[in-house]
Amino acid sequence: MAEKFKRMDGRELTEMRPIAAKVGIIPNADGSAMFKSGKTIAYAAVYGPREHHPRNARNPKKGTLRCRYNMISFSVNDRIRPGPSRRSTEISKITEWAIAPVLMLESFPGMVIDVHINIIQADAGTRCAGINAAVMALAHAGIPMKDMVSSISAGKLDKTLVIDLDKAEEDFEEGEGPTDIPVSVTHSGKVTHLQLDGKINKEELKNAIKMAVTACDEVYDIQKKALKNVGQLIEGAKK
């Protein structure tokens, strides 16, 4: 085997950035949570179930999950224009699809559950952090759920599979360049969301997903601890 691949911030290949979580940060919301992964910080607030407006969008059979992903203008080095963009609309939709399979929306026909995700500091992996925060906030809001969802991104830098890319790694330009694969998994091991940006072959993809599923257990532990200790900042074990 060739020389061992070295990551820019000195992490192991399967080591994620230090994570932290806190539940119950927004008093006015029905449920709220913060999830931090390295320099990425996501805040999620849940309102509802409440009356669904506009009326024509109501589903009389089951409730609707409505997510809004938003990057705050100061979250990145160059100020980003506030308001919805093509990217944020897509991530909002992806978040809905990642979470909806575990929610029991049948209990709230004609109603809506609003999830507002705000990224206050971005360093790659924002959609994963957003999903992690949103799931904790939904549980905190007392929405009936079958399971929890944890999310992490796997990736490939040149020819090496790694876990949890940060911004510097996402801009990695050597060899085959970077591949980013955000994966969301329920605690029972079912994949609810999978995206791929870059190039990867079938075998490598399978391995990358396996790595992500394993890493999600660590995220789940933090989510669980944070929910059991509302109002306390729970930090992951330092390696």
Partner 1 sequence: MTDRQIVIPGEIIAENTNALPGENTIKEDGNIKAQRYGLAEVSKELIKVIPLSGAYLPRRGNIIIGEVKNVLFNGWLINFNGPENGFLSLTEVPMYVNKDGLEEVMKIGDMVTAKIWNINKRGTDLSIKSRGLGKIVGGIIIQVNPHKVPRIIGKEGSMVNLIKSHTGCDLSVGQNGFIHIKGDSTEKEIFAKKAILFVEKNSINNGLTENITKWFEKNKN
DSSP state of 58: -
Q: Which is nearer to partner 1, 38 or 63 (CB)?
A: 63
Q: Between residues 24 and 182, which has the closer beta carbon with respect to partner 1?
A: 24
* Smallest distance from partner 1 to CB 132, Å: 13
Contacts of 4 (CB under 8 A, 6+ apart): none
Q: In Å, how far are 38, 106, 138 from 185, measured between CA atoms? A: 20, 22, 16
Question: Which residue number, 20 or 205, has a Cβ lying nearer to partner 1?
Answer: 20
What DSSP designation does 194 have? E
C-beta of 38 vs 48, nearer to partner 1: 48
Q: Quote the DSSP letter at residue 189.
A: S
Minimum distance of partner 1 from residue 102's CB (angstroms): 7
User: Shortest approach of partner 1 to residue 223 CB, angstroms?
Assistant: 8
Question: Which residues touch 51 (CB under 8 Å, ≥6 apart)?
Answer: 111, 112
CB of 196 to partner 1, least distance (A): 27
By CB under 8 A, name the binding residues for partner 1: 24, 30-31, 47-51, 102, 104, 108, 110-111, 139-148, 186-188, 223-224, 227-228, 230
Strand partners, 112: 50, 64
